Structure 1
Amino acid sequence: MPDHVVIIHRWTDRYADYAAYLDHAAHRVSYLTTERAARHLPVEQAAAVRLVDSTENAKAVRAALDALVERLGPPTRIVALQETDLDLAAELRGEFDLPGQRSADLLPLRDKLLMAQALDAAGIAVPPTAAAPDHESVAAFAARHGRPVLVKPRRGTASAGIARLDTPEAIAAYEFPRDAEMLVQTWLPHQVLHVDGVFTGDGLGAWRASRYLNTCLEFTTGAVLGSVEIDDGELLTRIGEIAAATTAALFTGPSVFHLELFASDTGELTVLEIGARPGGAEVPFIWREVHGIDLMAAAVAHQTGTEDRSARPGAVPAQVAGWLLVPPTAATPCRVRAVTSHQGAGPYAEVLPEVGALLSGGGYEHAGARFRFRGNSSAEVEAAVRRTMRDAALECTPVDPGTPGRLVVVGCGNPPYRAYALASLADRVTTALVQGTDIDWQRPYVADRFRVADTADTAATTRAVAGLLAGDPGPGAVLTWDETLLESTAEIARRLGLPHMTPEAARRCRDKLATRRLLDAARVPSARFRQVHTREEALAAAEELGRPVVVKPRALAGSIGVTLAGDPGEVSRAYEQAAGSSFPGIQGLSGVIVEEYLSGPEISVDCAVFDGAVRIVNVAHKRLGFAPHFEEVGHLVAPWRHEPWADEMQSVVTDAHTALGIRTGLTHTELRLTPTGPRVVEVNGRLGGDFIPLLGTLATGVDPVAAAADIALGRAPQLTPDCDRCAEVRFVYPDSDGTVRSLDLTAAAAEPGIVEAVPLAAPGTRLLLPPRGIVPRLAALVAVGDTPEDCAATLDGAERAVRHSLTPLP
């Protein structure tokens, strides 16, 4: 049985259920995948997950595998189910001396010229095929076999790169690709069939044959592509014979296969090609849903050496299945303008892109609208497929990646804290806004590009964002800096195909328990912790971890309910405080976290993450007050690269992002500089709050808000600093609970070195000091200077100049 299984995975839909195929508790199962494809993986059960930009990037995959080997040991099995990943997986098996298909086994199944030669030698009918290194070889082939001819990559998939050449002029004008070996083949004007199933190593197991409606090549030029399973017994007998002969000639062991055949008008069958993998499009779904056989499970069994429970001979199916792909009306990239599904009796399942979604191509999975059918006969299913062919449409508008684009902000926050951010966006890109209330102070920045939507309703907010993007010909983007909207905004971006941190990564950041577990599993320096549900469990956890401990809710914000507790009485009170705390717009999660107290100064690190690369934008030293609570009373952004902890901090922050699966977006990570080194407190999937992005701009010249906009638009952010000074914010608090009567910042704003003096509490505001109130601040004072001492002196003078009065509360 396998011990450390490495799975290379790229699908974003539920094509494979690895947790059902492999016991993740009994074996170490790790994944090499992409940010988008990790969505349906059993991340919480995995031994490790490493993200790469693409599984086709062999260098990145190998580097990620090296990291897995260092942590978990060498792999004992390697699994790859998608055709484009088969070659690298075979190479890696050879390098680690593992069972399964090696490169030599795979070669005649991936190189279509060698495949044709091997089948021809075995007496199996194939179209005339030859190498095509240049125009002369293609012209000579056409002279021998006639035209039209097809020129195609020797190693290709999904009909990509295939050209049909009908005339000598077309042959002479054909441009050979520089990075691919090509072959030339006779074009046959016959019906194309496909056969999907299992080769047991001794013969055919379960298999089904289908007839394409149109062809894969026509699909690449914008035609719909459909398929219907065959119920003609005599034809199926002959298909079974050629399928058995083909698999026996090419396979060296058990494998799932996808075979394509030509069927002439007179009944002759000719092999086009065969792949050592499950069929694409909707084939894995209809096998699972209609026939009760999971081809992905069979493929995993073959590659891990476990039992294949599907490998029974093909019986007459109880039902006939079919599928249909409808491509967009415009070349990708394009934005969906309207989706027309079907009329009357149609598919039993459909996958439709959202109106407003960006389509950028990328295989059958992302090719447009997808439909699945079932019925009692081929004729019945074909009729339903053709009805849907006639009725379904995916109307799209081209997108020009070179235009400036439009960015939709979801939820805007309070003007004192976020007006500078919205102004920065409006200076850089056409900005729009969706929020739950009518437009107010934001109008100068967004004009009429505004929608009211219930931001607690993801579907309604998605429609509002799509409506704001619909009229723009350029790229679209979505962004939020509202803690309460992080997960829903990430889901909106997923539905619309926009660059963004994934919903899963956003959820891991929001759930502090998930953060701790993932950091611990990845051995990223953090705090020891326990999840508790009662006061007694909290007391026991504090004893185990060693007091003092920090007691906090799982998923709130603004340090609400976070308390440092020493003696048992303090722990009990801290538990009740955390369990009873709430934050507007955030639903609490089960349990309270008790964790080790990390001593040392606290810093926050804002990072720009683009294509998986984590770059630090600025570092802020946090000022805390109102002990034993963790109220943030100020922040200082200062030069940091000379600090003795700088290199280790960068490494810890990068590893934390890797562990949480963050490859896109602006993040805000909080750490403690402990005697044993930097340790992570939490990672937030958003811009820093409390004016920290503004401080970063003042101190370095790099605007984190502009960087967030660039990343949201899919563009590399500009992160080169043009200055290196200090900027600090200090928040002014009342001395006691009270209601604000007056606030005057005139004198404070006039102090030299003060760049902003921002009122935060209007007359009539009721302020309750921690832990009773949420950030009960009177004002924010922002200073710049050459040194931290300069900023502190300026802020001392400005704070003394603040004039305010309060009515004490009973």
Structure 2
Amino acid sequence: MPEHVMIIHRWTDHYADYAAYIDHGVHRVSYLTTERAARHLPTELAAGIRLVDSTENAKAVRDAIASLVERIGPPTRIVALQETDLDLAAELRGEFALPGPRDEELAPLRDKLLMAQRLAEAGIAVPATAGAPDPDAVAAFADRHGWPVLLKPRRGTASAGITRLDSPEALRDHRFPGDGDLLVQSWLPDQVLHVDGIFTGEGLGAWRASRYLSTCLEFTAGAALGSVEIDDPELLRRVEEITTATAGAMFTGPSVFHLELFASDTGALTVLEIGARPGGAEVPFIWREVHGIDLMAAAFAHQTGAEDPSARRVDDPARVAGWLLVPPSAPMPCRVRSLTTRDEPDRYAEVLPEVGALLTGGGYEHAGVRFRFRGGSSAEVADAVQRTARDTELRCVPVDPGAPAQLVVVGCGNPPYRRYALDAVAARVDTALVQHTDIDWQRAYVGDRFRVADPSDPSAVTGAVAALLASHAGPGAVLTWDETLLESTAEAARRLGLPHMSPEAVRRCRDKLTTRRLLGAAGVPSAGFRHVRTAQEALAAAESLGWPVVVKPRALAGSIGVTLAAGPDQLSHAVEQALTATFPGIGARDGALVEEYLSGPEISVDCAVFDGAVRVVNVAHKRLGFAPYFEETGHLVAPWRAEPWADEVQAVVTDAHTALGIRTGLTHTELRLTPTGPRVVEVNGRLGGDFIPLLGTLATGVDPVAAAADIALGRTPDLRPTRDRCAEVRFIYPECDGVVQTLDLTAAAAEPGIVEAVALAAPGSRLLLPPRGIVPRLAALLAVGETPEECAAALDRARHGVRHALIPLP
């Protein structure tokens, strides 16, 4: 059997290329990660993927692991390349009895007090170090070794939580954490070096020494942090000696390492700490890009027992690299107001936050602005780093989490269908708007908070949202309920650091082929399918799947181009429809889908997804017409929790969200209640259309639009029902293709049980019935009742009250 390699991953940038490290076709590879970090993972090649809010959330991680084990089987290897995840991986290896570093092996490399003790026992110079369970222990240490001292976590990373105490008064004013898991260390006023490379188990493999141009501690206080590789032969000789001794004392086998040293004015070297992982910040990138060695690949090989592909020295030791991190001008959380920098010949890569982006921190990766350099000497690169540090300014304004929030809606849609949604949002939070035209009826909801931009262009949306939030002191958010704008809105949210369903999850939902593949791989009940490009391929697919079949485009909306074909003659027409159908704002994708026909009633399930938890908000029964097409002619929201299929629907919908990597947002899932159980038709990463959210509010008291706004703002939505009745919408269609002359809904609106009668076609509208037209509706009638029969009776009466005149078309 192929091995099951479980990977714990948290980086959002492309630090590791797992698809290059292991063949996902030969081995079963699963991922435990976060929604943001899944961006660069080969998820479509994975045997399974589970998302958590943080890989440090112990309960969520263990629940996700249990789910992966149930689906794929126990892991045979566990990989974690980021320092903070090493402890979890070691603990799991012990629980599953797997090879690789265990707790006892990792402890002296993660616990800095144990590390200092082991190095001292090996005769390697380290600063004076002791445990610091309370202030008295720190005072006693300072009496012996002098002030200042450093107080730090025994298992900290990236200089987080380190405090320099200069006097007894500073110690008296310092607040100790409750767990007391600290150490105290002598402060050395020396230059700090770091050494990165590979220990083969017998000696040093490839390695590089670098000099910090400031200190990590200064960086946490707001100074820029830079590093340049060293080309001084004598210093490198001494660094090699202490590095070899340190690695030999700490490692029992091959390992990638990151070592930090103090270098005094007299040339003495003292070990600060060593980690069994690749260096942070830009170290993995410059090794891969400048020196041609992938430290992540080496670490992956060590943890999986594979051959280390990097067991060689640097090709060109004369090439010198460096990096620079520039933090924001204001404490995080903050919003980027402006970014200024100058071109620098020796700077070959940069990672710049978008103007308007929300910065919340989280290690060196999200520290602000990141630069990478290369040149012919240490002096040359150091000059470039220092010039860039001097010329770069990341101006930010603090964000007050307690201040009023502002929500930017992207493309609010036509007033008949979405006025209620904008009304619901504006009643809840200060609302702004981005759309392609100047505002009209929306001004009552947004005032002057709007920008005109192409809402289908991610860069334009990003700039418009950033401009609207630039002067806002409180939290910001972005939301769209327009299917055609989901991808651009999701990308803008990613660039600006705002909560939203990830662009990758949106694309998985938008492409029905990807949806089917992922649902099938995860074992979620769906439809059998084939991807076809020609009528001949479609015929072969239909013969294989069995008649009748459903033919559909890969990425349109509103059931456009979806046709039921009962035989070869109908199939040819259906394929042509699927391949040529269009929907405004959505581009066509390669080919079409031929799917098995799922018999049984069709329902839609609106869900609120927050921190990965999937909660059903309401269930609507879909009314279909104009066979063999799948025109949605109405929807009924009714009590559903006592239905025999309720629990299974909740489970299937939850599994579908997990398979597609959806952890945030309001979603709309369509299912068929087949004789063999509920099966997924599709998952949409947005609010339901066709007034379904309004029906949900009328029926249950839970407003899906308000829930979507709360989720976008990072708030927990209130999903407690206050009533349990029925609400239904019925759409009125013309009797033939035609041009609307008049439409009068006065009598229909006056019928008992009718809560709204909405005109959907103005005089002069040209309506073409399916499949020629897109939702050619005259009106929408909305009814409320205690039972479905009450709603149906009210709608039947109201239907007869709709007065209209139509000029038939040939």
Q: Could you say which TM-score interval applies, normalised by the shorter chain? A: over 0.9
**Structural RMSD (CA):** 1.0
The Cα shift of 1:58 comes to 2.0
Amino acid at match of 1:456: S
- Partner residue of 2:325? 325
Q: Spell out, residue by residue over 1:111-156, the C-alpha distance to the aligned partner (whole angstroms, 9 max, x if none).
A: 0000000000000000000111111111111000000011111111
* Whole-angstrom distance in 1 between the partners of 2:309 and 2:529: 42
The Cα shift of 1:315 comes to 6.2
Amino acid at match of 1:614: V
Q: Spell out, residue by residue over 1:475-509, the C-alpha distance to the aligned partner (whole angstroms, 9 max, x if none).
A: 11111111111111100000000000000000000
The Cα shift of 1:342 comes to 2.3
Check conservation: 2:322, 2:382, Cα contact below 8 A.
Answer: yes
Is 2:616 the counterpart of 1:616? yes
* Whole-angstrom distance in 2 between the partners of 1:446 and 1:387: 44
* Whole-angstrom distance in 1 between the partners of 2:719 and 2:316: 63
With normalisation by structure 2, the TM-score equals 0.99
SS of the counterpart of 2:241? helix
Check conservation: 2:409, 2:431, Cα contact below 8 A.
Answer: yes
- Partner residue of 1:306? 306
Moved more, 485-494 or 345-354: 345-354
* Whole-angstrom distance in 2 between the partners of 1:373 and 1:786: 69
Task: Describe how 1:353-502 pairs up with structure 2 within 5 A.
Answer: 353-502=353-502
Residues 316 and 587 (structure 1 numbering): CA distance in 2 closer, same or farther, change over 3 Å?
closer
Task: Describe how 1:718-737 pairs up with structure 2 within 5 A.
Answer: 718-737=718-737
Task: Describe how 1:574-589 pairs up with structure 2 within 5 A.
Answer: 574-589=574-589
* Whole-angstrom distance in 2 between the partners of 1:171 and 1:329: 28
Identity %: 79
Check conservation: 2:575, 2:592, Cα contact below 8 A.
Answer: yes
Q: How many residues align?
A: 810
Amino acid at match of 2:59: K
Moved more, 38-47 or 309-318: 309-318
The Cα shift of 1:761 comes to 0.5
Is 2:35 the counterpart of 1:35? yes
Check conservation: 1:257, 1:275, Cα contact below 8 A.
Answer: yes
SS of the counterpart of 1:61? helix
Q: Spell out, residue by residue over 1:724-759, the C-alpha distance to the aligned partner (whole angstroms, 9 max, x if none).
A: 111100000011111111100000011111111000
SS of the counterpart of 1:407? strand
The Cα shift of 1:172 comes to 2.2
- Partner residue of 2:91? 91
Is 2:639 the counterpart of 1:644? no
- Partner residue of 1:604? 604
SS of the counterpart of 1:589? coil
Moved more, 199-208 or 170-179: 170-179
- Partner residue of 2:664? 664
Query: Is there any run of 5+ residues in structure 1 with no aligned partner, and where?
Result: none
Q: Spell out, residue by residue over 1:587-610, the C-alpha distance to the aligned partner (whole angstroms, 9 max, x if none).
A: 011011000111111000000000
Check conservation: 1:2, 1:76, Cα contact below 8 A.
Answer: no
Amino acid at match of 1:487: E
SS of the counterpart of 1:306? coil
- Partner residue of 1:186? 186
- Partner residue of 2:760? 760
Residues 117 and 716 (structure 1 numbering): CA distance in 2 closer, same or farther, change over 3 Å?
same
Amino acid at match of 2:519: L
Task: Describe how 1:326-341 pairs up with structure 2 within 5 A.
Answer: 326-341=326-341
SS of the counterpart of 2:743? strand
SS of the counterpart of 2:577? helix
* Whole-angstrom distance in 2 between the partners of 1:368 and 1:342: 16
Check conservation: 2:668, 2:687, Cα contact below 8 A.
Answer: yes
- Partner residue of 2:282? 282
- Partner residue of 1:710? 710
- Partner residue of 2:45? 45
- Partner residue of 1:266? 266
- Partner residue of 1:101? 101
The Cα shift of 1:178 comes to 1.6
Is 2:251 the counterpart of 1:248? no
- Partner residue of 1:220? 220
The Cα shift of 1:457 comes to 2.2
With normalisation by structure 1, the TM-score equals 0.99
SS of the counterpart of 1:274? strand
The Cα shift of 1:343 comes to 4.5
* Whole-angstrom distance in 2 between the partners of 1:658 and 1:113: 41
Amino acid at match of 1:157: T
Amino acid at match of 1:774: I
Check conservation: 2:293, 2:314, Cα contact below 8 A.
Answer: no
Amino acid at match of 2:492: I
Check conservation: 1:532, 1:592, Cα contact below 8 A.
Answer: yes
* Whole-angstrom distance in 2 between the partners of 1:711 and 1:198: 44
The Cα shift of 1:440 comes to 1.2
- Partner residue of 2:571? 571
- Partner residue of 1:19? 19
Check conservation: 1:204, 1:313, Cα contact below 8 A.
Answer: no
The Cα shift of 1:627 comes to 0.8
Is 2:515 the counterpart of 1:508? no
Check conservation: 2:2, 2:26, Cα contact below 8 A.
Answer: no
* Whole-angstrom distance in 2 between the partners of 1:802 and 1:396: 57
* Whole-angstrom distance in 2 between the partners of 1:314 and 1:121: 32
Check conservation: 2:109, 2:115, Cα contact below 8 A.
Answer: yes
The Cα shift of 1:174 comes to 2.1
Amino acid at match of 2:116: A
Check conservation: 2:336, 2:395, Cα contact below 8 A.
Answer: yes
* Whole-angstrom distance in 2 between the partners of 1:738 and 1:459: 40
Amino acid at match of 1:51: L
Check conservation: 1:2, 1:77, Cα contact below 8 A.
Answer: no
* Whole-angstrom distance in 1 between the partners of 2:441 and 2:677: 44
Q: Spell out, residue by residue over 1:559-606, the C-alpha distance to the aligned partner (whole angstroms, 9 max, x if none).
A: 001011101111111111111111111001101100011111100000
Check conservation: 1:206, 1:315, Cα contact below 8 A.
Answer: no
Check conservation: 1:607, 1:617, Cα contact below 8 A.
Answer: yes
- Partner residue of 2:532? 532
Amino acid at match of 1:788: P
SS of the counterpart of 2:231? coil
Q: Spell out, residue by residue over 1:375-421, the C-alpha distance to the aligned partner (whole angstroms, 9 max, x if none).
A: 00000000000001100011000001112211111111111000110
* Whole-angstrom distance in 2 between the partners of 1:342 and 1:332: 24
* Whole-angstrom distance in 2 between the partners of 1:98 and 1:179: 31
SS of the counterpart of 2:284? helix
The Cα shift of 1:341 comes to 2.1
Amino acid at match of 2:456: A
SS of the counterpart of 1:381? helix
* Whole-angstrom distance in 2 between the partners of 1:541 and 1:313: 54
SS of the counterpart of 1:801? coil
Check conservation: 2:212, 2:228, Cα contact below 8 A.
Answer: yes
The Cα shift of 1:164 comes to 0.7
